[in-house]
Structures are given as C-alpha cells and as structure tokens.
C-alpha cells in the first residue's frame, strides 16, 4: 500500500453537506472514510425530521451524492453488538451498499461474528475490541481483564469466526504480534494522534509512525485531519503531513 492508502478519515460530522466537502477535498490523499454512529443517525434524521418533503428530498439527494463520491471506500462503523440473528440481518444491507469494510463488536461473541462473516459478501468484517477511550482501570471494570489480555481473547474469537481484521488500540499491536495473530488478521487502529494534535477523549494512543512501526495496517484518524491546529493548515495539509510521516517508517 502507498502511505496515504493506510489513512482512514473519520467522517464524524453532522450533515451530508459537510461530509461531501471533506470527501471532495481529501479523497486524493487518503485511502478510505469511516462512517460512524453519529453521522449514520444524522443522515437518517435529515430525511425523517423535515416536515416539508422537499427539504427531506434535498437531504436524500445529498446523501446519495456523498455515497457516489465515496465509491465504496467506506469503513461502516456500526459496531454491531447483538444476538447472532440480528447481527447477521444487519450485515446484509451493509453488504448491499458495497462498503469496503464494516465492523461487529467482538463482545457479541463468536457466533455473532460468524453470522456477520456469512453475510459479508465482498466486504471485509472487522472486530471491534476494547475502545480507545477506555483506560486500564475501566477495562478491568467492564471485562475483568487488562486491555492486552482482553484484546488477545477477542482476537482468538475473530480468527475462529473467520473475520478479516481487528480494530484495537495501537498499544495492543505488540500483544497481537507476540501471539502470532498479526499474520491472521488485518490490523486497524483508532487512537492515532500525531505529536502536533491533542489527545481529546482518547486514552490509549500512538503517533502514526509509532502505530505503523508496531504493525498497524490502517490508521483511523478523525479530528487531527478534520480540525487540525492552525499552524498545520487545512485538512489536506494534515493528511499529507501524516502520509509523509507514514512513508518515513513504512
């Protein structure tokens, strides 16, 4: 992959118009775009809420325009976490949309992951493990294990269920490599913060260079690209800067 192909930009915006602007600017400089729960719900609301039908139609047209621009280069970040039958059913329309990747939360269990795999079509199924906003103490409170231990357990489930990849903090990449999991699952890492960016609500983070050195295949990056510091410049400037950092280590 070229360095820019490793970058997945999080489209964490609240209108299709904002997303269209970002995609038009950034598509030549990144590999993929993540559509998460906030924006998924915002798109749905933009069609349902307007009392004037013509306004809803305009929103629908913008959504369709956006997906035309994306050309399937989408990580659908729905984090499916439900009973196996529901996860399988939710996977069908996402496959029909033609996204590159979508995810299921590994905590749903091996059977639910396997149902997503069975309905994935040409899409790739990724397993979400321990969110990057969760620190060690909170992870122990939720799962009864440290992040590294829990991610490794989830990784085993993903391999057994036939998933294509894993989503985890870059700090767990070494654990996966030491266990030999890196050869079996594509590694997608949120929690990426360049040295010039603020951490925000992320707890377990690395820079782009550190994550690639640790074995990340794809880096999910949101605010540092969408809203870079003034001294960095525009979102395009931020994306180019991150791609250069990746190129220097890959």
Q: Which of 234, 114, 217, 109 is nearest to 168 (CA)?
A: 217
Q: Which of 185, 204, 187 is nearest to 130 (CA)?
A: 204
Distance of alpha carbon 115 from alpha carbon 109, whole angstroms? 10
Q: Which of 243, 183, 245, 241 is nearest to 215 (CA)?
A: 183
88, 111 in Cβ contact below 8 A? no
Contacts of 202 (CB under 8 A, 6+ apart): 132, 133, 190, 191, 193
Asked if 71 is an active-site residue, the reply is no
Catalytic residue among 34, 71, 79, 110: 79
Distance of alpha carbon 69 from alpha carbon 147, whole angstroms? 37
84, 56 in Cβ contact below 8 A? no
Enumerate the active-site residues: 79
């Amino acid at each position: 992959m070229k360095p820019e192909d490793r970058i997945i930009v999080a489209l964490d915006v609240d209108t299709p118009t904002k997303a269209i602007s970002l995609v038009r600017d950034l598509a030549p400089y990144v590999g993929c775009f993540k559509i998460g729960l906030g924006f998924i719900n915002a798109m749905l609301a933009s069609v349902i809420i307007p009392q004037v039908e013509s306004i809803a139609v305009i929103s629908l047209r913008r959504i369709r325009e956006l997906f035309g621009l994306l050309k399937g280069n989408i990580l659908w970040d729905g984090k499916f976490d439900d009973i196996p039958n529901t996860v399988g059913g939710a996977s069908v329309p996402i496959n029909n949309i033609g996204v590159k990747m979508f995810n299921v939360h590994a905590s749903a269990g091996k059977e639910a992951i396997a149902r997503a795999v069975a309905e994935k079509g040409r899409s790739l199924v990724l397993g979400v493990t321990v969110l990057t906003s969760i620190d060690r103490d909170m992870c122990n409170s939720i799962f009864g294990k440290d992040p590294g231990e829990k991610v490794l357990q989830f990784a085993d489930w993903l391999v057994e269920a036939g998933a294509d990849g894993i989503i985890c903090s870059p700090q767990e990449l070494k654990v996966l490599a030491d266990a030999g999991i890196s050869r079996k699952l594509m590694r997608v890492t949120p929690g990426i913060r360049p040295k010039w960016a603020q951490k925000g609500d992320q707890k377990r983070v690395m820079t782009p260079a550190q994550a690639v050195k640790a074995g990340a295949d794809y880096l999910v990056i949101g605010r540092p690209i969408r809203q870079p510091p003034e001294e960095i410049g525009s979102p395009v400037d931020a994306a180019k800067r991150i791609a250069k950092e990746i190129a220097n280590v890959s």
